[in-house]
Amino acid sequence: MNKDEIIIKFENVSKTYHSSLRSFNIREIFARVLQPKDSKPKEIKSLDNVSFEIYKGETVAIIGQNGSGKSTALKLIAGISGPSEGKVTIKGEITSMLALGAGLHPDFTGRENIFLNGSLFGMSNNYLSSRTADIIEFSELGEKIDQPVRTYSSGMMARLSFSIAIQVQAEILLIDEVLAVGDIAFQEKCLQKFEEIKKRKETTIVMVTHSLKQAEEHCSKVIWIQNSKLMKVGSPKEIVKEYTEIMMHH
């Protein structure tokens, strides 16, 4: 691993969202109508002055409680949104597993979706044809691969999406709680795949996870974000221990 090659860099990054009326709750509607005309929308800071560096070939877990800003950090890396303040620098092509199943067409079969979904990742039909057997085998869908995706369970859709996505030869792989879907055996299979990718040391993996066990056993570094602020960056064993102790007394 080239420790001098920074692939992802956050420099004093903040992300602020403006609250808006998104529900039809009658109490919220009256509160909005009755508020002073010159009152400003409430600002919600999802990330607050966060800085860190990720190097080529690292497997990094971002941990923290719900609403801490983990997924926001991943979306900024993916380029889905930009920072309100500070600078995000990315070097390399990105494959995102942020919403498995989102690119699948319900009326197409699983086999047809291999080509549809794979094209969204930038893979050619020729490449996908050469990888179809491996994708089907990894997904464990068997004969169901020729059934419409609308007949699939959420776990089956996640397995198909994951099996397609891992065929991409990306420099950066982003994963958001993907392994929370599916049975334990398939989760272990996915983690074994990550280990294969890690050994090549060509792909940088960044995952958001609530599984401290996965972070400690499969990652080379942990980024801990709490209440929108960066708490610590360092070795998984050290940070998971400190995080667990604080959460137990929270």
Looking at residue 46, what is its pLDDT?
94
Ramachandran bin of 69, using left for φ above 0, alpha for ψ from -120 to 50, beta for the remaining angles? left
Looking at residue 228, what is its pLDDT?
95
Q: Which residues face 109 on adjacent strands?
A: 148
pLDDT digits (tens, 9 = 90+) for 107-158: 999 999 999 988 888 889 999 999 999 999 999 999 999 999 999 998 888 8
> How does 73-110 read in b/e, with b if 16+ C-beta sit within 10 Å?
bbbbbbeeeebeebebebeeebbbbbebbebbeeebeb
pLDDT digits (tens, 9 = 90+) for 2-54: 557 999 999 999 999 876 544 445 555 555 555 565 556 677 889 999 999 99
Question: Could you give the domains of the chain?
Answer: 57-85+93-248 (3.40.50.300)
CA distance 83 to 118: 29
CA 11, distance to chain mean position in Å, is 20
Looking at residue 22, what is its pLDDT?
47
